[in-house]
Amino acid sequence: MTALPPNGPTGPDEPAPLSDRDRAVLAVERQSWAGPGAKERAIREGLGISPTRYYQLLNALLDDRRALEEDPVTVNRLRRVREARRGRR
């Protein structure tokens, strides 16, 4: 059996990888949705969380460098949408 390095499997300067839940949140955002309510239903049934909690997690992911490395197209698109909304306020 091999021992893990003292600071875990990623080393002292590397952050832990994204969780499965974080990856699932990004996967939901990569999809297109047929009609109103479909996305919210998928969030509740697929992730087991409320849409409000989902959007809290998503917003935090948009500021996470690991999410950008994982899915730069989706994260950059959502960052642009977020900035446009902020600009309209």
Residue 47 lies in a domain: yes
Q: What is the pLDDT of residue 89?
A: 74
Asked, for residue 40, whether it belongs to a domain, the answer is yes
Q: Which class for 64: exposed (0-12), middle (13-18), buried (19 or more C-beta within 10 A)?
A: middle
Confidence (pTM):
0.78
The count of domains in the chain is 1
81 in a domain, yes or no?
yes
> Residue 10: which pLDDT band, with cuts at 50, 70 and 90?
low
Q: What is the pLDDT of residues 17-69, one digit of tens each?
A: 999 999 999 999 999 998 889 999 999 999 999 999 999 999 999 999 999 99
Query: Does a structural domain hold residue 7?
Result: no
Q: Which of 4-8, 31-35, 85-89 has the lowest mean pLDDT?
A: 4-8
Q: Domain for residue 14, yes or no?
A: no
Q: Is the pLDDT of residue 11 over 70?
A: no
The angle formed by the CA atoms of residues 34, 41 and 55, to the nearest 5 degrees, is: 95
Is the residue at 75 inside a domain? Answer: yes
Q: Which domain holds residue 78?
A: 20-88
Residue 65: inside a domain = yes
Of how many residues is the chain composed?
Answer: 89
**Where would I find the beta strands (DSSP E) of the chain?**
none
Pick 88 or 13 by higher pLDDT.
88
